[in-house]
Amino acid sequence: MSTTAQIGVTGLAVMGRNLARNFARNGYAVALHNRTPARTRELVEEFGQEGTFVPTESAEEFVAALERPRRLVVMVKAGDPTDAVISEFAPLLEDGDVIIDGGNAHFADTRRREQELRERGIHFVGTGISGGEEGALHGPSIMPGGSKESYASLGPMLERIAAQADDGAPCVTHVGADGAGHFVKMVHNGIEYADMQLIGEAYQLLRDVGGYSPDEIAGIFRAWNTGRLDSYLIEITAEVLSHVDAATGRPFVDVVADRAEQKGTGRWTVQLALELGVPVSGIAEAVFARSLSGHTALREASAQLAGPTPQALGPTEAATFADRVEQALYASKIVSYTQGFHEIAAGSAQYDWNLDLGAIASIWRGGCIIRAAFLDRIRAAYDSRPDLPSLLADAEFAEEIAEAQDDWRAVLVAATEQGVPAPGFAAALSYYDALRADRLPAALTQGQRDFFGAHTYRRTDRDGTFHTLWGGDRTEVEA
């Protein structure tokens, strides 16, 4: 077989197939490989007119079809299946060739694979891809890690197939070394969890307290999508809420079981935040809310617990309440992104990645699930001040939260009084209040730790580390 393909894709399920088509549509000759050759043939038969495809049936044939440096995109399940594909193809590659993992791999696995392959002269590029199957086909947000040398070869191709922001910039950048791309994609997904939870809480409050129907709430979300909450998730929320189930004539949202699934990236975000010592309480509440939704037996056993029954407001009060919910949603959303970018900054420091937070915000402006208008402002905030410690330290965002906080608090009072759970809103506000507090109860916590475990403490009035001898006259000694 002649060497004709500029890039290859192995693993032709929906995401891999659409990514291969995206490359072909953009003028690249694409080698195709799948464990089941029938799937390769189906792709060529159905979409062969979209560009140049080079179907292959064996690993050797696939590698032989690729021009050098070979660029091989792996689109299989994370974990052992990815390792199996690497083990199959790596012996067939040469110095300077590139393996691109486009799955949702754990970044620690990516770091391991990158090091192992680097020692063999092969570049390994862990690449976060966001946008689902439509994004893969029409232009996703792409977060590649790996070496600078690999990006020099691969980057121009990714820039051509990526989504474009409103200013025409491609939604892709070289994120950083080894596992940085998959790390950033992981946190992206964590923010996505929080964003979806906050939107869900806004819906529930508008319905149970505001008294609005799903279709009316769809109209409210459409109105919000013309302003500062303009985003993909708000847009599709309106579509879901306005949809009517054909079989029953009921609102679609009322016939869907209220048990939300998760694939793991949200959990990883929270687990790593714990290791890094970064508070991502909003993301954690979103993960826990999905987990709680699936504990059907527990929920059934608790259904008769005492509590208020929500009473819908009148039309005038409901309209005012809806405006307050918009404020609470926007403020909580800022906090979620604040926590996510804090985790990215902490990971950057921990793994010496030197990540550009402004560039990351920039590539999330199009293609990805959390794409939103206000990411332009997040990018601008970090571009103007790369050492910004928190989005809440940005003057514009701080001013907006100051304006929103009374309504934010009022919404949570209503939620509490009416018995409507709003853990995401509450976690966001608690985080905000903890940051601005002059003193935290951590002083008492550290005193308790010193009492039962001699863990020592620091003082506010002089330097040093101290321990109190609690059993006798409570003498303080310097540790």
Q: Which of 57, 67, 192, 399 is catalytic?
A: 192
Mean pLDDT within 44-60: 96
Q: Tens of pLDDT along 64-123?
A: 999 999 999 999 999 999 999 999 999 999 999 999 999 999 999 999 999 999 999 999
Q: Is the pLDDT of residue 199 over 80?
A: yes
Phi, psi of 5 (to 5 degrees): -95, 135
Could you say which of 419, 436, 453 is where a domain stops? 436
For residue 471, being part of any structural domain is answered with yes
pLDDT score, position 252: 97
Which two tokens mark 52?
């140049």
Q: Are residues 431 and 445 both part of a single domain?
A: no
Mean pLDDT of the chain: 96
**Given a cut of 60, is residue 398 above it in pLDDT?**
yes
* 179 located within any domain: no
192 is catalytic: yes
Which residue in 349, 397, 197 sits closest to 284, CA to CA?
197
Determine the structural domain holding residue 161 and report its residue range: 7-174
Do 322 and 210 reside in the same domain of the chain?
yes
Tell which phi-psi region holds residue 260, choosing left (phi > 0), alpha (psi between -120 and 50) or beta.
Answer: beta
Chain-centroid distance, C-alpha 224? 22
- CA dist 340 and 378 (Å) reads 12
Residue 284 placed within a domain: yes
The CA-to-CA distance between both ends of the chain, in Å, stands at: 73
- Mean pLDDT in residue range 389-398: 95
Peptide bond before 423: cis, by omega within 30 degrees of 0?
no
Domain CATH number, residue 23: 3.40.50.720
Spatial separation of the C-alpha atoms in residues 467 and 477, rounded to whole Å: 5
In the chain, pLDDT over 90 holds for what percent of residues?
97
Nearest to 206, CA basis, from 329, 330, 304, 306: 329
Return the pLDDT at 263.
Answer: 81
Which of the four pLDDT bands, split at 50, 70 and 90, describes residue 472? confident
Looking at the fold, whether 229 and 140 belong to one and the same domain comes out as no
Distances in whole angstroms, Cα of residue 401 to Cα of each of 332, 335, 346, 348, 444: 9, 9, 24, 27, 29
Q: Which of 112, 180, 460 is nearest to 345 (CA)?
A: 180
Beta bridge partners of 476: 468
Domain end: 152, 174, 196, which one?
174
Amino acid residing at 277: G
* Measured distance CA(107)–CA(146) in Å, rounded: 11
Q: Of the listed 88, 133, 159, 185, which one is catalytic?
A: 185
Residue 393 and residue 250 share a domain = yes
pLDDT of residue 3: 63
Q: HSE (CB half, 13 Å, CA atoms) of 223?
A: 10
pLDDT at 30: 98
Q: Which residues are annotated as a binding site for NADP(+)?
A: 11-16, 34-36, 76-78, 104
Q: Count how many domains the chain has.
A: 3
**Residue range 330-376, pLDDT digits in tens:** 999 999 999 999 999 999 999 999 999 999 999 999 999 999 999 99
∠ Cα 324 202 315 (to 5°): 55
| Domain shared by 27 and 169, yes or no | yes
| Entry pTM | 0.95
Q: How confident is the model at residue 2 (pLDDT cuts 50, 70, 90)?
A: low
Same structural domain, 191 and 295: yes
Let me know if 333 is a catalytic residue.
no
